Amino acid sequence: METLFNQGSNLAGAVDRAFIFIFAISFIFTIGITVLMIYILIHFSRKKNKNPQQFSHNTRLEVIWTVVPLIIVLVMFYYGWVGFAPMRQVPKDAMPITVIGKMWTWDFDYGNGKISKELVVPYNRNVKLNLVSVDVNHSLFIPAFRVKEDVIPGYNNYLWFKPIMKGTFDIYCSEYCGLAHSAMLAKAVVVDSLDFDKWLADLQVTGNLPDHPGLVVMQANTCLTCHTLDGTKVIGPTFKGLYGRKTTVVTESGEKEVEANDDYIIRSIEDPNSEVVKGYNRGLMQPYKDKISQEDLQKIVDYFKTNAAK
């Protein structure tokens, strides 16, 4: 129960104000309407009114029941908006962590191959979570921080917060994602800045080490969540032995054979859905045109060229 009332992040206060306001209005109206109904039942019963009367307008009453609810919903909107708007404006200095949702577990990727099963974050520092799903829709929910966002394959969603309370808090998946959805749990641990630095330094490297500038670009764009380097098939084709590989792709006008050369690699990043490798689904990867610079694209191409034999 405790986490329900903890205001663990800078965003929690505004969410609670919106909730309490809406709850209070609902409470007052529930009581008010019930009392009024009981009064009307008794006061206008047949026993007391033998001869029914016909009446139509009451301008004053109609103005009141239009204007008062209008003001109430506008105040609700105001509280909702001042709580919501800052959630979508990520501070520039926020520390990025990639959250990978998969049936039925969460991975927290701190970069440089460091992946944790717990979301450890430094106290009083802005944190941005980049949300990635490798399979179906999930939703990352940290009640104590009052943050919840959908985690959807092919759509780079995000959220941010500043933890303002030290401790351990629950993380849930709040989108039904299959058999073990209810077991898709994790913990958010808020620690002192110094403890965080030490924890991160001690965290074992289990992911891919970026030993090439192209790999750094690909990690920053979470390419390796859906494409492996070791030949394993996940959402997209593996990158193992990509350069020079002959592949059948499906286009609007049918199938064709292509060779994975410089042009093909850049085309596949900028406009991935025009030519989809046979056996994979269209529409799962977003187009990266204008999202990755030409310089960075060259780094990626260079990575595949120099690692072609891997």
Looking at residues 66 to 125 of the shown chain, list those that interact with ligand CUA (rule: CB under 6 A): 101, 104
Residue (68 or 179) nearer to ligand CUA, CB: 179
Residue (175 or 275) nearer to ligand CUA, CB: 175
Residue among 254, 217, 249, 252 at smallest CA distance from 236: 249
Q: What are phi and psi of 136, to 5 degrees?
A: -115, 180
Residue (14 or 226) nearer to ligand CUA, CB: 226
Interface pick for ligand CUA out of 99, 119, 184, 223 (rule CB under 6 A): 184
Residue (113 or 154) nearer to ligand CUA, CB: 154
Count Cα neighbours of 128 within 13 Å in the Cβ-side half-sphere: 14
Task: Report the interhelical angle of 294-306 vs 262-270 (nearest 10°).
Answer: 130
Using DSSP bridges, classify how beta strands 119-122 and 127-133 pair: parallel, antiparallel or unpaired: unpaired
Looking at residues 236 to 255 of the shown chain, list those that interact with ligand CUA (rule: CB under 6 A): none
Interface pick for ligand CUA out of 17, 114, 128, 181 (rule CB under 6 A): 181
**Minimum gap (Å) between residue 147 Cβ and ligand CUA:** 16
- ∠ CA 169-171-172, rounded to 5°: 145
Interface pick for ligand CUA out of 18, 173, 235, 301 (rule CB under 6 A): 173
The site string for ligand CUA over 128-167 (x = CB under 6 A, - otherwise) reads ----------x-----------------------------
Burial category of 73 from C-beta neighbours within 10 Å (exposed 0-12, middle 13-18, buried 19 and up)? exposed
Interface pick for ligand CUA out of 107, 149, 175, 296 (rule CB under 6 A): 175
Q: Which residues bind ligand CUA (CB under 6 A)?
A: 101, 104, 138, 173, 175-177, 181, 184
